[in-house]
Structure 1
Amino acid sequence: MTGWKYEWAVIIGVGIIIIYTVAGGYLAVVWTDFFQALVMLLGVLCLLIVGLVHVGGLSGLNQSLSEIDPSYLSIWGKDYVFYGQWGVILGSSLIYMIGYMGLPHVVVRHMSMKSTKTVKNATLWTAIYNQLFAYSPYLLGFIGIILLPNLSDPEMVIPTLAYTFFPGIFAALLLSAVMAAIMSTSDSILMQAGTILSRDVYQRFIDKKASHNKMILVSRLSVLLAGVIGIIVAIVQPPKVFDLVVFAFGTLGNSFMVPYIAAVYWKKANSVGVLCSMISGGVTNILWTSFDWQSVTGIHPFLAGLIISIIAMMIGNPFGTPPSEPIKKVFEEAKGPRPLPKNIDKHINRDISPEAKIISTFIQNNIPVKG
């Protein structure tokens, strides 16, 4: 997008992310992600509105796509390549419908919320944001099929549309939405990697009595190391962004989603079941993708990993030690009291009172008393 040499663009771009993540920690990541989300939303919405005007709205978009290739409007994929393969269709849908519940860098945001009030507000704002943002890139991809028929690299649809619709300076501002999307994900994953390496590896196995300041130092060095390794990998073997995102998304989701859900909703879940689920789900997705078993089985890697993860959780859990009483107590306390509102409770008592009286009378009249 800038005309810079690829290597320098990677070094500068990732370098900026590493600097503010190392310097500011979790607080910097949260605030930058907030503003980056706003940039992303405004950027794609501006492009989407102008794009829909050019193609004649949603009706014009559908009509133009059907004229180019009717299979674009089918659930089976272009040229109906996945016709009848419900395992592929279901898996490719589930990966983005429920896969987020297994992303550690997303779940940690939920864990850091201060209260249930924060959760309620976050739920509302997230729903609104996703209704505006989540579908826009897909529609922009369809618009690109119509307006950019000769585009060789599909991953350049949004930048090309930006340069097509807007003059240079405005196009650059809109393209910052792409960078915002990259940065908001990268800094979160780097932060999570630093936390895992410092607390779950260094403190647990190397220095159990490490001080708070030492842990922060180790975390920052871990973030720096992870970023440098990422730069080297990206320069030596540049991956296709879309394939890499789907692979990482699926592997993380299959590794952590079932354990996360079990930890919250299943009181009997234990460490053995969790480990079996994590390892089996993640490995299944990796092998399924690496050896292209989707072509043989007609099942998407995410769906395969999800099924294996659930089965492994059920099989492994009986071999583990049941949770301790303090853990069970915390589990119950986390549910919180759920009293019915007085109005509802009042109406329930009033409504079931006649039924209860009739049942009581019936029992008294029809059950013989033994003397």
Structure 2
Amino acid sequence: MSSIIPVVLYLLLSLVISRFIGNRISGGMHEDKAKRFFIGGRFLNGPLLALTLVATYTSASSFIGGPGAAYHIGLGWVWLAVIQVPVAMLTLGLLGPKFLALKEQHATLIEWLDHRFNHQGLSMLAIVCLVCGFIAMITVQFIGGARLFAGVSGISYEIGLAIFVLTVLGYTLTGGFRAVTTTDAVQGVVMLIGVVTLLVTILAQGDFGQLMANIKQQSPNLLSPMGVEQQLGWPMMLSFWVLICFGTLGLPHTVVRLFAVKNPQALRRGIIWGTLISLVMTLVPHLCGFFGRGLYPNLDVPDNIMPTLISGLFSPWVAGLLLAAPIAAVMSSVDSMLLQSAVTMVRDAVVRVKPDLDGNRQLLLTRVAMVIICAAAAWWAVSPPKMIVWLNLAAFGALQAVFLWPIIAGLFWPKISGNMAFIAMLVGLLSYLGLQFVKPLPFNVHPIVPALVLSGLAMYMAYLCQRKN
């Protein structure tokens, strides 16, 4: 139980940081107080951009579900996870210069879509999909955070869930976008230190050869690049390259950070630092989950491997300090999604109906929306599945199927109209949801691949039809 004390202190520190930054923002003068809360201006330099981008992208799936999958499936899942390392290079290098060149400052992705396409149906569909997708992903983060608290400290899952929800809600309510990005950066440093410490400790437990022998004894296929049940063939690998690498160009909570990039130098430095940090934050936790199979071979719930390693290899106080690393990973994702979904509900939906709504009322409604979203996600998190990685990836895919082509076409293809982008969104969403019920798909590909192909083809066909007319 004493291991919970360092974590509580860490959570209180996060609250203090966000409160301090929130007070500085509210005390400053700005023509749009709500907009300053929502985006905070162009202030992200290279290291801060890299840390907040990678910290936002890594989540409960990366630090709980991913290591759990590596524990269950084997070394093949570790190589599968490394596919996502170029995310910072891809996002910042491809989309970054285009968003940085925009003359207008946008607070949300929906604002930019409005400005680019001026299509009511597209905007409304985007709002619904973003909010619903983020609620599903926030639920995954809550499950991961609660399991960490329960697994390391010995408290019940429900109490851990309550502590985590209230903490994230508290510091997201107070600080706004600047507070979220700054605490994300702090949490990114905590993650780096924590996961490296955990891996070194695992490898120091004894002979490395004996550790690998213990894993091989359970099943030789745990060392196979195809997985313990040979489920990770090349079609699956290529599918995941789309899902967790290329497709991230369509994730709203990573794209919105590009609205706050300071200058081209910040982009270049962000690419370098982001790629290096992404390599460590991806590879190390998954290796911990895989090696954990040699130390704790009989876990009923694979997602419990990280809290089991932390509580089993360290004293309660040290375990509490290390628990801050995966907690930071979860918090850095959920705060971004919570803020963006609430802002979308208010600034993009309510203000659309009541354009004369002043900044103070926008802020109030945004905070109310945060409470509602947290309550809905917490309610769904009360009865969690054994492995959260699949739920998180399903929500990932849904957002990508909706937003990927409109974002790319909106930046790189000036002739694409609102109707064409709307058709791409609708076809991507419907095909992705429909393919969830077709299992297995040919060659065992992930539904995101045919969904994106169909979405892109639909947009191009609409373009050709308009040219003929």
- The equivalent position to 2:224 in structure 1, one of 63, 74, 92, is 74
2:335 maps to amino acid: D
Question: How far apart in 2 are the matches of 1:252 and 1:62?
Answer: 38
Q: 1:80 is paired with a residue of what secondary structure? A: coil
Q: CA RMSD in A?
A: 2.3
Cα distance in structure 2, aligned partners of 1:13 and 1:313: 42
Shift of 1:137: 1.8
Query: Paired residue for 2:449?
Result: 303
2:459 maps to what in 1?
313
- Distance in 2, matches of 1:45 and 1:264, equals 38
Instruction: Indicate the SS of the match to 1:201.
Output: helix
5 Å-filtered alignment, 1:15-54, equals 15-54=166-205
Distance 2:176 2:464 in 1: 39
Residue 262 and residue 168 in structure 1: after superposition, are their counterparts in 2 closer, same or farther (change >3 A)? Answer: same
**Deviation of 1:193 (Å):** 0.3
Shift of 1:56: 4.6
Alignment correspondent of 1:217: 364
What's the offset of the Cα at 1:120?
1.5
Contact map agreement 1:105 1:188 (CA 8 A) in 2? yes
What does the per-residue CA deviation read over 1:189-233, in whole Å, with 9 as the maximum and x for residues that have no partner?
A: 0011012111221111x2022222222222222222111211222
Greater relative contact order (Cα < 8 A, sep 6+): 2
Q: 2 CA distance for matches of 1:280 and 1:175?
A: 42
Task: Note closer, same or farther for the CA distance 1:311–1:60 as it changes in structure 2 (3 Å cut).
Answer: farther
1:194 is matched with 342
Q: Which has the larger displacement, 26-35 or 71-80?
A: 71-80
Residue pair 2:409, 2:416 contacting (<8 A) in 1 also:
yes
Q: CA deviation at 1:131?
A: 1.9
TM superposition shift of 1:296 = 5.7
User: Which deviates the most, 180-189 or 312-321?
Assistant: 312-321
SS in 2 for 1:223: helix
Distance 2:228 2:415 in 1: 45
Is the contact between residue 292 and residue 309 of structure 2 (CA under 8 Å) also seen in structure 1? yes
Cα distance between partner residues in 2 of 1:61 and 1:308: 46
2: CA distance between counterparts of 1:91 and 1:129? Answer: 24
**Counterpart residue identity of residue 27, structure 1:** R
- Conserved in 1, the CA contact under 8 Å of 2:211 and 2:295? no
Deviation at 1:156, TM superposition (A): 1.0
What is the distance in 1 between the residues matched to 2:396 and 2:464? 29
Q: CA deviation at 1:47?
A: 0.9
**Who is 2:420 aligned against?**
273
Matched positions, count? 315
Q: Could you give the per-residue CA deviations for residues 91-147 of structure 1, whole angstroms, max 9, x where no partner exists? A: 123312223222111111112112212211211211121122111122112101211
Q: CA deviation at 1:295?
A: 4.8
Q: Which amino acid aligns with 2:191?
A: M
Q: Which of 90, 105, 109 lines up with 2:238 in the alignment?
A: 90
Distance (Å, rounded) in 2 between the aligned partners of 1:81 and 1:100: 23
Relative to structure 1, is the Cα distance of residues 53 and 304 closer, same or farther in structure 2, using a 3 angstrom cutoff? Answer: farther
When structure 1 is superposed on structure 2, of 97-106 and 292-301 the one drifting more is 292-301
Q: How does 1:78-227 map to 2 (within 5 A)?
A: 78-83=228-233, 86-204=234-352, 206-227=353-374
TM-score (norm 1): 0.78
Write the distance in 1 (CA, Å) between the matches of 2:244 and 2:401: 12
The 10-residue stretch of structure 1 (67-76 or 225-234) with the greater mean CA deviation from structure 2: 67-76
- 2:162 corresponding residue in structure 1: 11
Identity over aligned residues, as a percent?
30
Residue type of the alignment partner of 1:221: V
Q: What is the correspondence of 1:328-347 to structure 2 with a 5 Å cutoff?
A: none
- Alignment of 1:255 with 2:402, yes or no, is yes
Displacement of 1:320: 6.7
Classify the secondary structure of the residue corresponding to 1:164. Answer: helix
Question: Amino acid of the residue matched to residue 103 of structure 1?
Answer: L
Q: Which residue matches 1:332?
A: none
1:65, 1:146 within 8 Å by CA — same for their partners in 2?
Answer: yes
SS at match of 1:134: helix
